[in-house]
Structure 1
Amino acid sequence: MSEDEKTPAREVIADYAQAHFRYFRTADGTVYAQRIGHPVARPIRSQGTTGSHRQELMVGLYRDGVGVFNGTALKEALDLIEALALAEGVQQVHIRVAPGFDGATWLDLGRADGLSVRIHPNGWDVLTPDPREVCWRRTQLTGELPVPAKDTDGKGIDLLFGLCNFANAGSECLAMAWLVGCLGPSVPVPAPFLTGPQGAGKSTAGRMLLRIVEGMTSDLRRAPKDEANLIAAVAAGWVTALDNLSHMTTDMSDAMCCIVTGAEDVKRALFTDGDVHRSAYRRPLLLTGIDVGVIRPDLAERLLPLRLERPKVRRTEAELWAEYEPVLPVMLGSLLDLTVQVRAAEAETPTETRMADFAHLCAQLDAATGLGALAAYRAGLDDLNDDVIEGDLLAQTVLKHADTMTPGEAQQMTSTEWLAALSRLYAGEDLRALPKGWPTTGKVLSDRLKRLQPTLAARGVLIDTGRTKTGRYLELTRPAPPPPPEQLPLP
């Protein structure tokens, strides 16, 4: 055969690739390759250490006896495949947890064979998902989970809490609710904040909760230095666990709020001037620490305080993990059993909390088990509101002013007038200096009070805004207490 009659190498590669792989694009335009019949997809431009599609293609060509090709031929073939894939339909890829057909959800076990868990209100099964239903994306943060055990009769939950040092039953049932929430791709869950005295085992308990969902290779991390690094770590995994937090900047607090309830990050695409790269994320978050200082009100509504106590008998790390790892399949099986029960339970959705989806999950957990998770969640939010007020002198001053009002009274003033009134109240008769961070203008005061609205409302003080012909105003109301319920006459 003459040189002119030979099939170009790029065509040989492209034909082989399209015969053995399925190519599609996601909503952000990234093209993925998925081996026929296998649920794991890889971006064709990936150069990561978890295995790029280019490497996968080279190995397949060599093992099937097609040949070994140079980089130019591979690049030209992949360029053609990428261009063709951009005309295909859009499909989403998922990390660890994904929605499925008929109300089911899937949990990726992180195995090479693609074996996963299908969770449905009628039960759960271990099988390989249809690639048209679920496409898994793997990164270095995707650890392998064991095949969960069947018919555990709840033993795994007891084994887990036997190894952790939770201070009370409320913290235990909230930890259970959070783990169930981690298996739901559409339910935003508040971030557990494991607190307690030094030596209470906060980091160890955090690892144990994390590894039920992410596998034994996962671990806690130090808080990134900036928001960009935090978002990069969040987008590459499912649960993000940050250890030993001692302070939290305003930017980091805002970023954590976005992680819990969902946001999208847009930045300039590499090596381009006009294109952008989009990454949407909403992930479970876990934090540990003794004290992070002043907690902002918007973050406080997205936290789940879990308190631990110092153990009465100390055990070595080796002993704990030697006991934990063999029973991890039982723990995961018990968690899946509990998830099925919770999803099948019916309960009303509480509407007074910001994280209404998680409050509904707690109500379902109570309906399935009778544990009292919703009451524990409400009590935890009250404690966090107290922490916010204790760390905010403006909130304390507003509550002090509200104490001088009669129940049912409402006061309207401009933000500037409110600033003067609250500043006089704080300074008092001895004219003490205003603290650092005190609002300096009416606009700053108005913005601060808007952030404090949920916290103050939980203490019976309502803040509202309005406008008249002369300008805008702030209204502070102290609602009248509800009338006592009528007592029925004794028979």
Structure 2
Amino acid sequence: MTADKGMGAKANQFINADDGEDGPPNQATKLLDAVLEISPDLFHAHDGTAYISFTDNGHYKTMVIGDVRLEAWLRKSAFELFRKVVNTNVINEVQAYLEAFALTKGKQTDVFVRLGQNDGKLYLDLGSDDFTVIEVTQTGYKAVACPRQVKFRRPKGMKPLPLPEADGDLSELRRFINVSDEEWPLLLGWLVATFEPDGACLILLMIGQQGSAKTSGCEVLKNLIDPGVACLRVPPASQRDLSIAGKNSLVLGYDNVSRIQPWLSDALCRISTGAGSAVRQLYRDEDEVFFEFRRPLILNGITEFVTSPDLVDRAIAIEPPHLPKSARKDKKTFLSEFEEARPRLLGALLDAVSCALRRLSEVHLQDAPRMADAARWITAAEPALPIAPGVFLSAYESNQTGAADAALDFSKLGNAVIELMAGQNEWLGNSAELLDTIASDCSSETELQRAGWPKNPKALNSQMRRVAPTLESRGLKVVFGISDGNRKRLIRITSGTAPTVQPSESPIAEAVRSDGPDDPAGRPGPDTTSSIGQMALTDSDGWTFLGES
């Protein structure tokens, strides 16, 4: 909300003199008058955080009220006003008034990190000192001063992006990322989908051997669109750590993941779809801090670390092929070449984003996959991508089937159900009966847990709901809540013929479905290489990077 011109004159009504009574304006009042004279926007976000936006040295800035950077700006302003350093209480009083006004009189406004939107346009914050943003429309992109109606918050760890350059080609990205020809469309799809403004975000999984350049590939992707001080992180230890990281980055990247605990798997699913979360405020048992954001995710590891069907449904799994030692070079050269190419790559990516904005209303998918918004957005962008029309959907459906099969391999319950249904067409019973049937050799909860089974019928019901979509790809349909006479809340499992792959005559208009168990997902083995010459490099810490041979 913009402060009115008379607000500065009324500041003394809110900040009293040092003796607690109305009197001549004190330092806090005078400083507040000076702040309000520049007509700042005082507002709050949906989570209750108070913000101030103002023009400083010709640049429009947005800051959290209470942030150390706003405090530093107020101290600087006070020094220019009084020609001396003011007491901390003066700064605190001014911030207290600004916060109170933002929360009680200010409008609720969206605040963005790195990528924002307004009136059908996308805005990419370059993070530069002059606060330049890139405006992306249906007709292209251009650098502009940040509009007042678009509020960008800049976390401390944000690094700047270069100005994008025209006439780039995303094919050049293959110089820096080790990916097979079969999975190249998937990587491009994930990259352009990070700009999709409304739907759920795809999760990129890079699973490869040591020396496959998976870490450097993930770093290149994140640095292309959202560079930061902490490029790739270790997996979070708590919901609080994950929430804070998500609030301060556009893209979340996690390195060397070996196992994803159930709570983390559920949390990553929520971040992908934009569901909110709440954590207890530090030192206060009764208060909560709320987080609500939607973020693209990158995770890499050596082994198949994603076993939850929910997470698999939201993910694209890529297996970079192994690169020999003879194809490695130094890190300095690799990074120098990437920095030189980054403006062109960013420009080519923004061309694809503009294409998606222009064509999105024309694209309609029949039998759309799980992440339908992302698939539709990527399909709309395909004419500006270095792939043929329809290639992404075909690769994505194959990838989903292969990933689901891999997740099922780690599910003891899922495999037990498959074995149970091998000799029958239907099974009907409650959760307790199903548990007794598949774990007939266990007589106690302790034995069930030791054997890796759900510990009780309630836990089995929960796991069955998670694995049911994956079982459907094996021709098994699971229906919950069935009634049979006096028996209620039964589970019915039926066996049928799994659907076969039907190639689409119109790849743009119809998604290709592949639910059969015989699809190997099109993933390359260790000896599969791209048609483009590539080479990796390893630095002193053993990190592997990719260059051009």
**Fold shared, TM-score > 0.5 on shorter chain:** yes
Q: 1:27 to 1:416 in 2, by over 3 A?
A: closer
Q: 1:450 to 1:9 in 2, by over 3 A?
A: same
Query: For residue 464 of structure 1, what is the aligned residue in structure 2?
Result: 479
Contact 1:182 1:284 in 2 (8 A): yes
Q: 1:165 aligns with which of 167, 178, 181?
A: 178
Query: For residue 177 of structure 1, what is the aligned residue in structure 2?
Result: 189
Greater length-normalized contact order (CA 8 Å, ≥ 6 residues apart): 2
Q: 1:19 to 1:349 in 2, by over 3 A?
A: farther
The 5 A counterparts of 1:87-102 are: 87-101=105-119
Query: For residue 196 of structure 1, what is the aligned residue in structure 2?
Result: 208
Q: 1:320 aligns with which of 334, 347, 351?
A: 334
Q: TM-score, normalised by structure 2?
A: 0.78
Query: For residue 342 of structure 1, what is the aligned residue in structure 2?
Result: 356
Query: For residue 291 of structure 2, what is the aligned residue in structure 1?
Result: 279
Q: Structure 1 stretch 104-113 or stretch 304-313: which is displaced more?
A: 304-313
Contact 1:191 1:260 in 2 (8 A): yes
Letter in 2 for 1:304: I
Q: 1:275 to 1:414 in 2, by over 3 A?
A: closer
Query: For residue 450 of structure 1, what is the aligned residue in structure 2?
Result: 465
Query: For residue 99 of structure 2, what is the aligned residue in structure 1?
Result: 82
Residue identity over aligned pairs, in percent, reads 25
Q: Distance in 1 between matches of 2:80 and 2:66?
A: 22
Letter in 1 for 2:26: P
Question: Which secondary structure does the structure 2 equivalent of 1:124 belong to?
Answer: strand
Q: Structure 1 stretch 236-245 or stretch 83-92: which is displaced more?
A: 83-92
Q: 1:311 aligns with which of 294, 300, 323?
A: 323
Question: Which secondary structure does the structure 2 equivalent of 1:170 belong to?
Answer: coil
Deviation at 1:331, TM superposition (A): 0.7
Query: For residue 142 of structure 2, what is the aligned residue in structure 1?
Result: 125
Q: Distance in 1 between matches of 2:448 and 2:117?
A: 56
Question: Which secondary structure does the structure 2 equivalent of 1:137 belong to?
Answer: coil
Q: 1:359 to 1:368 in 2, by over 3 A?
A: same
Q: TM-score, normalised by structure 1?
A: 0.87
Contact 2:206 2:214 in 1 (8 A): yes
Q: 1:276 to 1:244 in 2, by over 3 A?
A: closer
Question: Which secondary structure does the structure 2 equivalent of 1:69 belong to?
Answer: coil
Letter in 1 for 2:292: A
Q: 2:66 aligns with which of 35, 41, 45?
A: 45
Q: Structure 1 stretch 215-224 or stretch 170-179: which is displaced more?
A: 215-224
Structure 1 gaps of 5+ residues are: 486-491
Q: 1:339 to 1:285 in 2, by over 3 A?
A: same
Question: Which secondary structure does the structure 2 equivalent of 1:252 belong to?
Answer: helix
Question: Which secondary structure does the structure 1 equivalent of 2:303 belong to?
Answer: coil
Contact 2:204 2:297 in 1 (8 A): yes
Q: How far does the alpha carbon of each residue in 1:338-395 deviate from its partner, in whole angstroms, 9 at most, with x for none?
A: 1112332332235453222122223324465525111111111111111112111221
Deviation at 1:123, TM superposition (A): 1.2
Query: For residue 491 of structure 2, what is the aligned residue in structure 1?
Result: 474
Letter in 1 for 2:241: N
Root mean square deviation of aligned Cα: 2.8
Query: For residue 386 of structure 1, what is the aligned residue in structure 2?
Result: 405
Q: How many positions carry a matched residue from both structures? A: 465
Letter in 2 for 1:360: R
Q: How far does the alpha carbon of each residue in 1:439-468 deviate from its partner, in whole angstroms, 9 at most, with x for none?
A: 343333222211111101122110002124
Q: Structure 1 stretch 140-149 or stretch 208-217: which is displaced more?
A: 208-217
Letter in 2 for 1:331: L
Question: Which secondary structure does the structure 1 equivalent of 2:141 belong to?
Answer: strand
Letter in 2 for 1:33: I
Query: For residue 396 of structure 1, what is the aligned residue in structure 2?
Result: 415
Deviation at 1:217, TM superposition (A): 4.8
Structure 2 gaps of 5+ residues are: 1-17, 503-549
Contact 1:149 1:333 in 2 (8 A): yes
Query: For residue 364 of structure 1, what is the aligned residue in structure 2?
Result: 380
In the alignment, does 2:427 pair up with 1:411? Answer: yes
Letter in 2 for 1:267: V
Contact 1:143 1:218 in 2 (8 A): no
Q: 1:165 to 1:109 in 2, by over 3 A?
A: same
Q: 1:484 to 1:300 in 2, by over 3 A?
A: closer
Contact 1:259 1:281 in 2 (8 A): yes
Q: 1:198 to 1:269 in 2, by over 3 A?
A: closer
Q: How far does the alpha carbon of each residue in 1:388-446 deviate from its partner, in whole angstroms, 9 at most, with x for none?
A: 121112211212233323xxx4432222333333335x99xxxx999722134333322
Q: 1:266 to 1:435 in 2, by over 3 A?
A: closer
Q: 1:13 to 1:294 in 2, by over 3 A?
A: closer
